Amino acid sequence: MAAPHRFDPTFTDNVINSMGPKTSPRMRQLMAGLIRHVHDFARENELTVDEWMAGVQMLNWAGRMSDDKRNEGQLVCDVIGLESLVDEITFTLAHEAADAPTATAILGPFFRADTPWRDNGADIVVTKPDDAEMAFMHGRIIDFATQKPLVGASVEVWQASTNGLYEQQDPNQVEFNLRGKFKTDADGRYYFYCLRPTPYPVPDDGPAGKLLELMDRHPFRPAHIHILATHEGYRPLTTQIFDRKDKYLDNDSVFAVKDSLIVDFVPRDGDSKAALELKYDVKLVADA
Amino acid sequence: MAAPHRFDPTFTDNVINSMGPKTSPRMRQLMAGLIRHVHDFARENELTVDEWMAGVQMLNWAGRMSDDKRNEGQLVCDVIGLESLVDEITFTLAHEAADAPTATAILGPFFRADTPWRDNGADIVVTKPDDAEMAFMHGRIIDFATQKPLVGASVEVWQASTNGLYEQQDPNQVEFNLRGKFKTDADGRYYFYCLRPTPYPVPDDGPAGKLLELMDRHPFRPAHIHILATHEGYRPLTTQIFDRKDKYLDNDSVFAVKDSLIVDFVPRDGDSKAALELKYDVKLVADA
């Protein structure tokens, strides 16, 4: 409950109680909670008209910047930690139901649903930057309960190039560069070549960037690779893995790092295509 | 303080503490409060990814609909009572500093800063609807402390037509219809002809309308006239006055009604231009 205050004590209840009988129970719960928190925020901080209007303009600006390649409203949520928090809530609830599968992380705004299938062993670095550090990434998809490998599971990966841009942000990268969908083989294995990821700033030319500036924060994300793993009969898993050597691990601008998602790139011998190697197994939980 | 929860207990503090030393003290206070409330809301309601994303899409939609004639982000705030609450906070703080001037109300999204001056006695109903009920509105602008009339004060008024539309929403009304700026005469008086206002729905073809629908609420605002009164050396006053006969007084879709803002239209005799009369005095508080 909020602290006592000197404003109209009935105002917030009146707004909440204006909801009609046809409101769904979940909608009623969410809107009542949202209204109460927004009102408490305004009262506790004695929000001024100018401050409120500055917030409105920032939200309108986010909407105007958004299109099918950019979701600025999502990015605004990301820089205040909301997407990572919703992810943690989702993961905690799943965890309580099913012990401890692989930790999850946010999908982020750069996922593409139409990413093409590639064969195991493929190189997703189609447009190769001059400063590429190549890595061989491999691992297995495993049933969390039985520890048995899952054959024919799907692993989708995406990463930014060394200039900090995903392919859809960068006209100099071919479409679907640094993306791929792989199917696990008869041993449950997937493997491909990719970049050792590099840190990059989230787009800071919109309201999310303005918020970061006002909060005196940098826009950088630590180097990471996105993973979405799915298999029939199992819960899909969205995660990101982070390079232990990255300097932004402790202050990711979107707060997605978890200890269990930090990985080590190790030297790889005898492979002319990659000097580094990364092994990463993903555990999936069967549907209830 | 929020209730104990079973999620990462350090997450919210980490996000708040990521603000750097150059954040202004007020920004730090507002962002810390906003982040804490948004995170508490998400945890208390175990917000799902789909629910969060539905909210993001709604905010982006509001931004896309907004332009120089429409502020949908503002309207979304209005239907959850936020603009009226910020107004109440502003009024309460002013009140504590200076006893009780005229109550305030929200500016709303239909104010136009470029409204033309008109002479006292003018008729602001330039495009006259068939179902117009004409009223003669008059009153004085008074110094709150001395009760003396203020000469040369400015009174700006605006109202919707009987079809529920303000002139900038309606191609069939001439520009600045149902708007005017008046200067008080040597007795501190202003007077003009206007419509008896009629109730109307806020625009419900965007996210604000969708929210109202999801909350099973009607979009109507009780009949009202907007007033903005200013005079050099005094605090500007924004208010709305409401017709006591209106059926939506108790459930204004934007929660702006206050008892002291309810007024009575009374019969007017011997005036061929108007069968109704409304007297309304506005009290302004001198600058500190």
Which helix (H) or strand (E) covers residue A233, if one does? none
Q: How many CB atoms lie within 10 A of CB B112?
A: 15
Q: Domain segments of chain B: what residues?
A: 1-47, 99-203+217-284
CA B239/CA B102 separation, integer angstroms = 8
The beta-carbon neighbor of B52 closest among A24, A57, A82 is A82
> pLDDT tier at B68 (50, 70, 90 boundaries)?
confident
CB-CB neighbors (< 8 A) of A34 in chain B: 41, 80
Cα distance from A131 to chain B (closest Cα, Å)?
31
Structure confidence at residue B10 (pLDDT): 93
Phi, psi of B116 (to 5 degrees): -80, 155
Tokens of A4: 């006592």
For residue range B162-214, what is the model confidence (pLDDT) as tens digits? 999 999 989 999 999 999 999 999 999 999 999 999 999 998 999 999 999 99
Predicted local distance difference test score (pLDDT) of residue A103: 66
Helix axes B207-214, A25-44, angle to 10 degrees: 120
Distance from CA of B147 to the nearest CA of A (A): 27
Q: Does A270 touch chain B (CB under 8 A)?
A: no
Torsion over CA: A164, A112, A254, B27 (sign): positive
Amino acid B60: pLDDT: 95
Q: Which two tokens stand for residue A215?
A: 């909060």
pLDDT digits (tens, 9 = 90+) for B224-243: 999 999 999 998 888 999 99
Contact check, Cβ <8 Å, B37/A42: no
Q: Quick check: A32 contacting B, CB < 8 Å?
A: no
| Residue in B closest to A89 by C-alpha | B46
Going by C-alpha positions, the residue among B42, B34, B49 that lies closest to residue A80 is B34
Q: How remote is the C-alpha of A103 from its chain's centroid?
A: 12
Write out pLDDT tens, residues A97-156: 655 556 666 777 788 889 999 999 999 999 999 999 999 999 999 999 999 999 999 999
The interface predicted TM-score of the complex, written ipTM, equals: 0.85
In this predicted structure, what is the pLDDT of residue B105? 67
* CB nearest to A11's CB, from B39, B46, B85: B85
Closest CA to A231 of A191, A283, A288, A178: A283
State the DSSP string of A129-198: -TT--EEEEEEEEEETTT-PBPTT-EEEEE---TTS--GGG-TTS-TTTTEEEEE--TTSEEEEEEEPP-
- What is the CATH number that goes with domain A82-284? 2.60.130.10
Across A147-173, average pLDDT? 96
Distance CA A182, CA A191 (A): 8
Give the side-chain half-sphere CA count within 13 A for B22: 7
Class of domain B99-203+217-284: mainly beta
pLDDT for A84 beyond 60: yes
Residue in B215, B238, B260 to test binding to A, most A beta-carbons within 10 Å:
B215
CA distance A222 to chain B (A): 15
pLDDT of residue B113: 87
Q: Rounded distance, CA A69 to CA B188, Å?
A: 58
A179-183 sheet: strands from edge to edge: A179-183, A154-158, A224-230, A237-243, A262-263
State the CB neighbour count (10 A cutoff) for residue A23: 18
User: Which of A131, A111, A115, A276 has the alpha carbon at shortest distance from A193?
Assistant: A276
> What's the Cα-to-Cα distance from A206 to each of A132, B58, B74, B200, rounded to whole Å?
29, 18, 19, 35
**Cβ of A256 under 8 Å from any chain B Cβ?**
no
